[in-house]
Structure 1
Amino acid sequence: MPTAPTRRRQALVLALAVLGVASLGACTAGSGPDGSRPVSSAGPADPADRADLRRFYGQKLVWKPCGDHLCASLTVPMDYARPGDGRTFLLPVAKAATAVPGKRVGSVVLNPGGPGERGARLIKDGGADAMGPGVRERFDIVSFDPRGVGESRPALTCTPAGSSETAPGDDAASPPLVPRTAAERADALADARATADGCRKASGPLLAHVGTVDAARDLDVLRAALGEPRQE
């Protein structure tokens, strides 16, 4: 029998998928016939060269011991279209340093995926060991809590403050984890939409800045903060 946290994660994943589909049109506005985005010649090709993003790309991670690993915080703009408006996310970052410093080549960043997975916790729980001894000898293994997730500040919430209602997905009558019939798929979609509505009500404008494109841009800022070169 799936546990309540498992059901909550299923509901949140489905809800974020519903939200993603709803916003897809806005993300692809202005695309070419093959789905590609037009390339602007108005600004620098490397976002690190943009004056309003330099402070984010120029930051250095300050590592501190956290158990057997090292931890730091990464600051990223909440809205990459308006990075100078003062709103930011503070993302926790964790690192398992290379096992053989003399052989170090660089960093491998693990994207925790999900949505909703916590990368810093993954490192602290020994996730770097899954990379194998050959990789561990040559690379620092790094991961992070994506914006809105885990110990990110601010973090997304889908339960209104002070609400005594059961969180979506907690009810034993929630749709099965793997819907197999048309009725079960309809129930799962309805449950996801209800969760998405809860996220909108509880998180307000924050929800618009928690998405795949934003997380990808955060990864590039993390790459720069780790001192790793941009690959052309």
Structure 2
Amino acid sequence: MTTRPAAISRALTAAAATLALVLSAAACTTTEAPVAPGAKTGIPAATAPPTQALAPYYAQKLDWKKCGALECADLRVPLDHAAPDPAKDLTIKVARVKAHDQAKRLGSLLVNPGGPGASGIDYVRGGAETIGGPEVRRYYDLVGFDPRGVASSDPIDCLDDKALDRFLAADPTPDDASEEQALMTQAKAMADGCEKDNPDLVKHLSTADAARDMDILRAAVGDTQLNYLGKSYGTFLGATYADLFPKRVGRVVLDGVVPPDLTSAELGEGQARGFQIATQAYVEDCVTEDCPLGSTPEAALKGLDDFFTQVDRNPLPTGDPSAPLLTEGWARLGVAVALYDQGSWGILTDALKEAKAGNGSSLMQLADAYADRRPGGGYDGNLMESIFAVNCLDRPDSPDLSAYETYAKDFSAKAPTWGANLAWGALPCGVWPVKSAVGPHKIHAAGSEPIVVVGTTRDPATIYEWSKRLRDQLDNAVLVSFDGDGHTAYGRSNTCVDSAIDAFYVQGRVPKDGLKC
């Protein structure tokens, strides 16, 4: 990660998201009969449109059509929910896998894998048999969507492929004034490019905008309450929805939490500490065999720091003509993505062995995976752009370079390997061309049904204390804790977590607050 990672910090949440998609679930089968959401409490549906001007959007019926293994549809939403104008409407792309048992169907389960910028459609396409346990998939339609400005839903396009390569390759840990100015140039290129691409859309890409779209989608799939799985940034989206529409909360799970009240600096500092913890866990594992970084955890940590310094000074050949040199920026992305799941640690070790021998190709392939970049050039989505377009509206930062110098010093005191990288990563948000009326704020969701919050103790991207923080803010929530490594827990941890969440979705059985798995 480079600068508060020009591609990682904010993207952090995103990479984890995309990495988590391919992990297999280890879920238990629910044996009791399913219980429909709201059946026990009888909470009023309260699903009328927020304003009469929004009524036509809420009255939509989705026209589902076959699209490969999925069914797909378009949802129409207003650019500005406060002042709908049909001439400026946006199209939200939606996909679903229908419940296996339509006769006993409990409704739709909307899912968001994170980012901001990860595709919910790709999540459903790639995880139709791994999202939730067998009983969840039996009784719920799995519904994925690309939020506004993301992937296939009127995507924001801020930089061409070559410019985005330069942005991600840039030195993420500037050592002097000239390097700081070079990083500022890249930050301004991202900010200015997003505004130039779509000056109207860039003003309406906040998480609150996306949450209001999600309520229209809830109505369009025919549910009176929202059943939802949000991972990583998806927890921010879900919590924001719950605060805006508390009476419409059905069975909602927020896994790997990004609290909506985090400031930009708090996000960077927390992620720096999270990645430091994950790096410590990785090197402790690495030294049990032939570790290229050192023979003890302490030596290996120093070896990784020295490696980043060496690559900064002397980039390595990648064998990819479109990105011929593995810079520190690319190298940090490659290391970071492998820290999202302990199953990738062996791949990282092999890539570092190659890099230490002078070959940067495997680390570059990991960096490509993080950025949704194709080897040979080009990007499969707009993850690396929409991350900033959303986050910089939600969490503005300072335009003063001295603020990032202070961040770097403070973060590095707690996270020596990642502190400066995560500190400088927020620089685009300091020069963002538009500001949202809604900044960081606490979420309460007063009057909601119980919300299940899930936290992983050694999560690199969304530190465990953030899950506790949101659970304490919410008026009606419980916390499930997974003692383990990697980003998020449901579907990639153990049967203790999975069976508790499956029973919540299918039976409405709320896990015991404080459950430890």
With structure 1 as the length reference, what TM-score do the two structures score? 0.69
Where 2:63 maps in the other structure, the secondary structure is coil
CA offset digits 1:161-184 (Å, max 9, x no partner):
xx7x832344674245xx6x887x
Q: Do the aligned partners of residues 138 and 11 (structure 1) sit closer, same or farther apart at CA in structure 2, a change above 3 Å counting?
A: same
8 A Cα contact 1:9 1:116, kept in partner: no
Aligned pairs for 1:6-155 (under 5 A) are 10=8, 13=11, 48=49, 50-84=51-85, 86-127=87-128, 129-152=130-153, 154-155=154-155
Distance 1:140 1:156, change over 3 A: same
Could you tell me how far apart the structure 2 residues matched to 1:188 and 1:226 are? 45
Distance in 1 between residues matched to 2:54 and 2:7, nearest whole Å: 33
Superposition deviation, residue 96 in structure 1: 0.9
2:164 maps to which of 162, 168, 174:
168
Q: Is the 8 A contact 2:97 2:128 kept in 1?
A: no
Report the equivalent of 1:37.
none
| Distance across 2 between alignment mates of 1:193 and 1:158 | 11
Matches of 1:198 and 1:182 in 2, distance apart? 26
**Higher-helix-fraction structure:** 2
Q: 2:55 & 2:79 partners in 1: Cα distance?
A: 15
Unaligned 5+ runs, structure 1? 15-44
The whole-number CA distance in structure 1 between the counterparts of 2:135 and 2:187 is 42
CA deviations 1:195-225 (Å, max 9, x no partner) are 1222112222220011111000000000000
SS of the equivalent of 2:108 reads: strand
Query: Given the superposition, is the C-alpha separation of residues 120 and 75 from structure 1 closer, same or farther in structure 2, using an over 3 Å criterion?
Result: same
Q: Tell whether the 8 Å contact from 1:12 to 1:195 is kept in structure 2 after alignment.
A: no
For normalisation by structure 2, the TM-score amounts to: 0.33
Give the whole-Å Cα distance in 1 for the aligned partners of 2:6 and 2:93: 23
Q: d(CA) in 1 for partners of 2:114 and 2:186?
A: 22
Amino acid at match of 1:215: A
Please state whether the residue corresponding to 1:218 is helix, strand or coil.
Answer: helix
User: By how many angstroms is 1:192 displaced?
Assistant: 3.8
- The aligned length equals 189
C-alpha distance in structure 2 between counterparts of 1:173 and 1:78, whole Å? 33
Residues 182, 137 of structure 1: alpha-carbon distance in 2 compared, 3 angstrom cutoff: farther
Task: Give the match for residue 216 of structure 1.
Answer: 211
Q: In structure 2, give the amino acid aligned to 1:150.
A: A
Q: How does 1:168-187 map to 2 (within 5 A)?
A: 168-170=164-166, 173-176=169-172
CA distance in 2, matches of 1:193, 1:122: 31
Gaps of 5+ in 2: 13-45, 226-245, 248-517
| Superposed displacement of residue 67, structure 1 | 1.3
Please say if residues 75 and 92 of structure 2, whose CA atoms lie closer than 8 Å, have aligned partners that are also in contact. yes
Q: Is the 8 A contact 1:62 1:72 kept in 2?
A: yes
- Bigger shift: residues 118-127 or 52-61: 118-127
Q: Identity rate of aligned residues, in percent?
A: 38
Which deviates the most, 75-84 or 128-137? 128-137
Letter in 2 for 1:158: C
How well do the aligned residues superpose, as a CA RMSD in angstroms?
Answer: 3.3
Q: Is contact 2:110–2:142 with CA below 8 Å preserved after alignment?
A: yes
**Residue 118 of structure 2 contacts residue 151 of structure 2 at CA under 8 Å; is this kept in 1?**
yes
2:167–2:186 contact (8 Å) kept in structure 1? no
